[in-house]
Chains A and B, each alone.
Chain A
């Protein structure tokens, strides 16, 4: 089995769950001996991509294939493109401007990116351009099935599938409804819908997302399979023992994620306010950045709990481990979360979790407290209980840490292989 996979980003240069998921799944497929051609955009220039060499854009727009040392069956192909997951139109604008300035400095030539000031148009044009290059790239490769992750790759995947008559599997890590609530961006929705309908099989990361596909995108249920994410064992499990207890007088409740509407930061703060009515020795730490960051700071101030809420900005690597180590509780109050990998990381780091019922991860975790994201009274009730009753915290930690070990990427990869077979059979039959 050879898979032509259209993905996004790869560790350590990742900005969120999508990169983590692509990495975990690809690594497990590799272990199962599946060959993967992993196609991803390499950004022209950004803070985190200094390891990628720039290629002249007038050359085939793609870099020479390369391999990553641990993954012997995975071949990486990159397409030079400023596309990034979690882009909003305004981010894209900023990003493009930075990149262009950089190229101009390097080459002393103007690089016109489709002109026009309609930046959302820019992003979509880029998506279309990406698709064209992907088809060219695919023409020289041999593979059995196409596997595409999230909407920006769908036009490319659909084009490759149509051009080469190969079965198409699209993998939904999030939908426009998760990211934007009811105010969906119509062109994005259209691309998602087209990709899902064109696919021979659709994979969602949860039953929660599957039902959104059926009700909002009109995808027939029998075409949609659920493959839950796994969790990567990060091998530093003795870490916490070596470091000893951090002594602190205050309890720490952690929010870790992008500070955007989807992640429910406001509900976290409103619950914090309620908690502080009952107990005093608690600090609420919000790790992450996003378009609601400033609003969140304001809300904390308006609620009169400014001194009890700390904003750290975006953290990575050791800093994340440190913050987990200090935390007594992790809360994920997401409004709509297709899966949600961070609660699994928290559990791996021995931190008990409260997760929103509007999440895919609540389907796979039993040893977690669950609340409706809007029910701030209940969220506060549960936060207080964990902080107040050591037996609760200990039972949650013991069982949660054990449970999380059962969620293995290898099982997800095996399920994907079965789905590839189904897709191949479907195409052969047609």
Chain B
């Protein structure tokens, strides 16, 4: 009995416009570029993929299930730039075969810096999802699948969730398989769903790679791999970016055809089927606890936070941002608060990543800036303006300029990749 559990991450950042130290308007976001990208991705991915999923659900008579996590930042953009995508998500919600997950509304790293802000963003997201799709999310996924024991404890304390989704990283599982349900260490009720990164990445990253020994990947072959799990697990957690369909893997790679045929191939094995995350945790008990004292994520081979917080610029930018929290909130100015929150998206810090930069790879592909340095300069200029707006309202301090000696030694002489 092997259940395939699909969860798709759907997110687009609110990209900043070019903002120099000479700018002084409180107008930070590049609406033109954001609209252009949103419409492009809608046409290449969201619309065709949603129609395909809808079609499969109808064809399979409810035996095909998926889950989505839609960030608040994305939903805002869809409403403004591609409202037709919203109606297809609405149609998906009405099939009863689609589950919506909870996350931070702003796709933020707030868990690491402010638990108050973190919980506020989760609540805002959950309210939005309930209002739009009539479901109260019961499963939580943190930005970039960032996770540790403390996160589990915090999520459990809210009482709002049944399970957390995170990465099935080798170093937390050891010899154990991600194809079982686990319990976070120190947790009473929460369960853990762990990503099967090997099978997920076969679709998300390797699908079109002609140097891969398994290329071409057919639905029939993949269904066989899923079936091989029987005897060593209950569930195959396939977690990936939704943009895999049509954007990361272009339509001409055959990714949509693969997806179209996958359900029937999986269902050819009478024991196998599809479940949403909530159905999975209802169906199976936790087999063991997983202890994650250190933070993990789903990024790169390191599965750590170095893509967002690996250099002195990233660390400086995010610390400055969260240092403003009290003043921003006490201003009571809703525009100010909304701008501050949009700056929290992990993407802004990802763009500042110098890891692998010289080699040019996946990091570069998603980066609207020419270099991580440009992205830091732009972000700090925006932050400087936000700070002065805030100072006008609250007479708080201005952006502090940190000196070289204040930077922790490990960041001063960080390893260069």
Enumerate chain A interface residues (CB-CB to B < 8 A). 274, 278, 366-367, 369-370, 377-378, 380-382, 384-385, 388-396, 398-399, 402-403
How far is A388 from B377 in the complex, measured between Cα atoms in Å?
10
Distance from A13 Cβ to chain B, minimum over Cβ atoms (Å) = 35
A389–B371 touching, CB < 8 Å? no
Known contacts being A381-B377, A391-B407, is A370 close to B313, with CB within 8 Å? Answer: no
A391–B21 touching, CB < 8 Å? no
CB-CB under 8 A from A388, the residues of chain B are 380, 401
B316–A402 touching, CB < 8 Å? no
How far is A228 from B380 in the complex, measured between Cα atoms in Å?
34
Partner of A394, one of B312, B317, B358, B371: B312
Partner of A381, one of B20, B313, B370, B402: B20
How far is A339 from B223 in the complex, measured between Cα atoms in Å?
55
Partner of A403, one of B22, B358, B402: B358
A402–B416 touching, CB < 8 Å? yes
How far is A391 from B408 in the complex, measured between Cα atoms in Å?
10
A385–B354 touching, CB < 8 Å? no
Tell me if B158 is interfacial: C-beta within 8 Å of chain A: no
Distance from B320 Cβ to chain A, minimum over Cβ atoms (Å) = 10
How far is A391 from B400 in the complex, measured between Cα atoms in Å?
13
Which of A278, A378, A389 gathers the greatest number of chain B CB atoms within 10 Å? A389
Distance from A255 Cβ to chain B, minimum over Cβ atoms (Å) = 20
How far is A391 from B352 in the complex, measured between Cα atoms in Å?
12
How far is A392 from B380 in the complex, measured between Cα atoms in Å?
10
Distance from A353 Cβ to chain B, minimum over Cβ atoms (Å) = 11
Known contacts being A366-B358, A377-B22, is A396 close to B373, with CB within 8 Å? Answer: yes
Contact with A along B307-331 (1 / 0, CB 8 A): 0000111011100000000000000
How far is A122 from B403 in the complex, measured between Cα atoms in Å?
58
Known contacts being A367-B354, A402-B416, is A394 close to B407, with CB within 8 Å? Answer: yes
CB-CB under 8 A from A380, the residues of chain B are 21-22
CB-CB under 8 A from A384, the residues of chain B are 21
Partner of B403, one of A274, A367, A382, A390: A390
Interchain residue pairs A-B with the least CB separation, the first 9: A391-B312, A381-B20, A391-B316, A385-B377, A402-B416, A366-B358, A390-B404, A391-B313, A384-B21
Distance from B259 Cβ to chain A, minimum over Cβ atoms (Å) = 37
B373–A369 touching, CB < 8 Å? yes
Tell me if B108 is interfacial: C-beta within 8 Å of chain A: no
Known contacts being A389-B376, A395-B312, is A378 close to B20, with CB within 8 Å? Answer: yes
CB-CB under 8 A from A396, the residues of chain B are 373
A398–B416 touching, CB < 8 Å? yes
Partner of A370, one of B370, B376, B414: B370
Extra contacts, 11 of them, besides A367-B358, A398-B414 (Cβ < 8 A), are A369-B374, A381-B20, A390-B404, A391-B311, A391-B376, A391-B402, A392-B376, A395-B354, A398-B412, A398-B416, A399-B357
B403–A278 touching, CB < 8 Å? no
Which of B21, B370, B374, B380 gathers the greatest number of chain A CB atoms within 10 Å? B21
CB-CB under 8 A from B381, the residues of chain A are 381, 385
A385–B21 touching, CB < 8 Å? yes
The residue of chain A having its C-beta at the shortest distance from the C-beta of B404 within the complex is A390
B416–A385 touching, CB < 8 Å? no
B401–A389 touching, CB < 8 Å? yes
How far is A392 from B412 in the complex, measured between Cα atoms in Å?
11
How far is A396 from B316 in the complex, measured between Cα atoms in Å?
14
Contact with A along B385-417 (1 / 0, CB 8 A): 000000000000000011110110001111010
CB-CB under 8 A from B354, the residues of chain A are 367, 395, 399
Q: List 9 A-B contacts (CB under 8 A).
A: A366-B358, A369-B374, A377-B20, A384-B21, A390-B312, A391-B407, A391-B411, A392-B373, A395-B376
Contact with A along B6-47 (1 / 0, CB 8 A): 000000000000001110000000000000000000000000
Distance from B226 Cβ to chain A, minimum over Cβ atoms (Å) = 42
CB-CB under 8 A from B20, the residues of chain A are 377-378, 381
Known contacts being A369-B371, A396-B373, A403-B358, is A389 close to B380, with CB within 8 Å? Answer: yes
Chain A interface main SS type: helix
Residues of B214-249 whose CB lies within 8 A of A = none
CB-CB under 8 A from A399, the residues of chain B are 354, 357-358, 416
CB-CB under 8 A from A395, the residues of chain B are 311-313, 354, 372-373, 376
How far is A34 from B47 in the complex, measured between Cα atoms in Å?
62
CB-CB under 8 A from A403, the residues of chain B are 358
Distance from B359 Cβ to chain A, minimum over Cβ atoms (Å) = 9
How far is A394 from B315 in the complex, measured between Cα atoms in Å?
13
CB-CB under 8 A from A367, the residues of chain B are 354, 357-358, 373
Contact with A along B336-371 (1 / 0, CB 8 A): 000000000000000000100110000000000011
Distance from B105 Cβ to chain A, minimum over Cβ atoms (Å) = 28
B21–A370 touching, CB < 8 Å? no
How far is A115 from B382 in the complex, measured between Cα atoms in Å?
66
Partner of B377, one of A278, A366, A392: A392
How far is A370 from B381 in the complex, measured between Cα atoms in Å?
17
B357–A382 touching, CB < 8 Å? no
CB-CB under 8 A from A366, the residues of chain B are 357-358, 371
The residue of chain A having its C-beta at the shortest distance from the C-beta of B316 within the complex is A391
The residue of chain A having its C-beta at the shortest distance from the C-beta of B352 within the complex is A395
CB-CB under 8 A from A393, the residues of chain B are 404
How far is A396 from B373 in the complex, measured between Cα atoms in Å?
8
Distance from B408 Cβ to chain A, minimum over Cβ atoms (Å) = 11
CB-CB under 8 A from A390, the residues of chain B are 312, 401-404, 406-407
Distance from B372 Cβ to chain A, minimum over Cβ atoms (Å) = 8
CB-CB under 8 A from A377, the residues of chain B are 20, 22
B315–A391 touching, CB < 8 Å? yes
Which of A391, A392, A395, A399 gathers the greatest number of chain B CB atoms within 10 Å? A391
Known contacts being A398-B413, A398-B416, is A392 close to B313, with CB within 8 Å? Answer: yes
CB-CB under 8 A from B377, the residues of chain A are 369, 381-382, 385, 389, 392
How far is A380 from B312 in the complex, measured between Cα atoms in Å?
22
CB-CB under 8 A from A402, the residues of chain B are 416
Partner of A278, one of B21, B373, B414: B21
Distance from B304 Cβ to chain A, minimum over Cβ atoms (Å) = 19
How far is A395 from B21 in the complex, measured between Cα atoms in Å?
20
Distance from B17 Cβ to chain A, minimum over Cβ atoms (Å) = 13
CB-CB under 8 A from A391, the residues of chain B are 311-313, 315-317, 376, 402, 407, 411
CB-CB under 8 A from A382, the residues of chain B are 377
How far is A145 from B407 in the complex, measured between Cα atoms in Å?
55
The residue of chain B having its C-beta at the shortest distance from the C-beta of A387 within the complex is B401
Contact with A along B60-103 (1 / 0, CB 8 A): 00000000000000000000000000000000000000000000
Distance from A98 Cβ to chain B, minimum over Cβ atoms (Å) = 47
Distance from A365 Cβ to chain B, minimum over Cβ atoms (Å) = 9
CB-CB under 8 A from B373, the residues of chain A are 367, 369, 392, 395-396
CB-CB under 8 A from A278, the residues of chain B are 21-22
CB-CB under 8 A from B374, the residues of chain A are 369
How far is A14 from B238 in the complex, measured between Cα atoms in Å?
63
B316–A389 touching, CB < 8 Å? yes
How far is A370 from B373 in the complex, measured between Cα atoms in Å?
10
Known contacts being A391-B402, A398-B416, A403-B358, is A381 close to B407, with CB within 8 Å? Answer: no
CB-CB under 8 A from B376, the residues of chain A are 385, 389, 391-392, 395
How far is A279 from B408 in the complex, measured between Cα atoms in Å?
26
The residue of chain A having its C-beta at the shortest distance from the C-beta of B413 within the complex is A398
